[in-house]
């Protein structure tokens, strides 16, 4: 059986501490051909350098890894830019602070994706760091996603798998949106076929909760969700990007 081909799109901004772990876990994948495209939004740290170090050390002939630097710091733009410079029929979107838990993760996810008949899928998340409050938060997120499946699909861009055909059909990510662009993308793709939450998990950092505080982060996400529900898609900041930039400058 031929190995499936997947383009992996990773937007990045000042991710020198997290990105290498993701890239090494991608380079270690088996039974799949991966085209990994990192799109860096002019990072001010060593994001480009650490990516090139991992690329140079990669010995897996089935995995190619390259990085592009763009002048626009916009996660939707960066994802769309990466897709435009990739070729595979399957698109896997990952955040830079994700880690794949074992070498067969992508192949298993692709196989299950094909069997579900879904147009787009996400997965469950387990934390890299030990943090009971953050574990509870991600447990609540999973329950929330399951409930929202029957109302309007909701998922984070930390892990999304879809087809290039579905991506093209909806015109990719909406670059006008500043928040919840991932949920908006999922909603639009799901109009053309099922959305599913896969049973397997990937690892993700709890840094958002650790850096900003659990209550403060939870309240901000609740505010973003309520604003989106009452007023439509978010084109304003709501304080999210101000805090993100402040954290990266520290």
Q: Scan for tokens 């943090």, then name that residue.
A: 131
Residues 6+ apart with CB under 8 A from 209: 131, 133, 134, 137, 217
Examine the pLDDT at 46 and tell me if it is beyond 80: yes
pLDDT at residue 93, rounded to an integer: 98
Residues 195-232 pLDDT 10s = 999 888 999 998 877 676 655 666 566 666 666 555 56
Return the higher-pLDDT residue of 102 and 235.
102
Distance CA 157, CA 60 (A): 26
Neighbour count for residue 213 (Cβ, 10 Å):
13
- Radius of gyration for the alpha carbons in the chain, expressed in angstroms and rounded: 17
pLDDT at residue 188, rounded to an integer: 95
Architecture of domain 5-210: Alpha-Beta Complex (3.90)
Sign of CA dihedral 122, 248, 241, 142: positive
Stretch 32-41: mean pLDDT: 98
Examine the pLDDT at 245 and tell me if it is beyond 50: no
pLDDT at residue 130, rounded to an integer: 80
pLDDT at residue 238, rounded to an integer: 43
Sign of CA dihedral 133, 137, 142, 147: positive
Give the pLDDT band of residue 129 (cuts 50, 70, 90): confident
Give the pLDDT band of residue 244 (cuts 50, 70, 90): very low
Stretch 139-148: mean pLDDT: 76
pLDDT at residue 112, rounded to an integer: 95
Examine the pLDDT at 8 and tell me if it is beyond 80: yes
Looking at mean pLDDT, say which of 82-96, 143-157, 170-184 comes out highest.
82-96
Distance CA 54, CA 65 (A): 8
Residues 6+ apart with CB under 8 A from 230: none
Return the higher-pLDDT residue of 234 and 107.
107
- Is residue 21 a contact partner of residue 99, using CB atoms and an 8 Å limit? yes
Stretch 74-84: mean pLDDT: 97
Examine the pLDDT at 155 and tell me if it is beyond 90: no
Stretch 88-98: mean pLDDT: 97
HEC string of the chain equals: CCCCEEEEEEEECCCCCCHHHHHHHHHCCCCCEEEEEEEECCCCCCHHHHHHHHHHHCCCCCEEEEEEECCCCCHHHHHHHHHHCCCCCEEEEECCCEECCCCCHHHHHHHHHHHHCCCEEEEEEEECCCCHHHHHHHHHHHHHHHHHCCCCCCCCCCEEEEEHHHHHHHCCCCCCCCECHHHHHHHHHHCCCCEEEEEEEEEECCHHHHHHCHHHHHHHHHHHHHHHHHHCCECCCCCHHHHHHHHHHC
- Is residue 58 a contact partner of residue 24, using CB atoms and an 8 Å limit? no
- Is residue 171 a contact partner of residue 65, using CB atoms and an 8 Å limit? no
């Amino acid at each position: 059986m031929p190995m499936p081909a997947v383009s992996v799109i990773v937007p990045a901004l000042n991710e020198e501490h997290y990105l290498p772990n993701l890239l090494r876990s991608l380079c270690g994948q088996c039974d799949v051909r991966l085209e990994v495209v990192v799109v860096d939004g002019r990072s001010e740290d060593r994001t480009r350098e650490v990516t090139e170090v991992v690329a140079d050390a990669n010995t897996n002939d089935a995995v190619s890894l390259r990085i592009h630097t763009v002048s626009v710091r916009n996660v939707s733009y960066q994802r769309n830019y990466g897709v435009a410079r990739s070729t595979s029929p399957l698109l896997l979107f990952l955040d830079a602070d994700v880690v794949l838990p074992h070498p067969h993760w992508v192949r298993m996810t692709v196989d299950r994706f094909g069997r579900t008949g879904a147009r787009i899928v996400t997965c469950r998340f387990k934390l890299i760091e030990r943090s009971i409050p953050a574990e509870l938060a991600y447990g609540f997120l999973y329950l929330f996603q399951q409930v929202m499946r029957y109302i309007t699909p909701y998922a984070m861009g930390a892990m999304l798998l879809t087809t290039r055909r579905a991506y093209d059909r909806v015109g990719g990510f909406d670059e006008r949106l500043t928040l919840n662009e991932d949920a908006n993308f999922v909603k639009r793709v799901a109009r053309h076929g099922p959305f599913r939450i896969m049973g397997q998990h990937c690892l993700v950092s709890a840094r958002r909760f650790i850096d900003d505080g659990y209550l403060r982060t939870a309240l901000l996400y609740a505010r973003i969700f309520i604003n989106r529900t009452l007023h439509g898609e978010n084109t304003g900041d709501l304080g999210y990007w101000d805090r993100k930039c402040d954290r990266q400058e520290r």
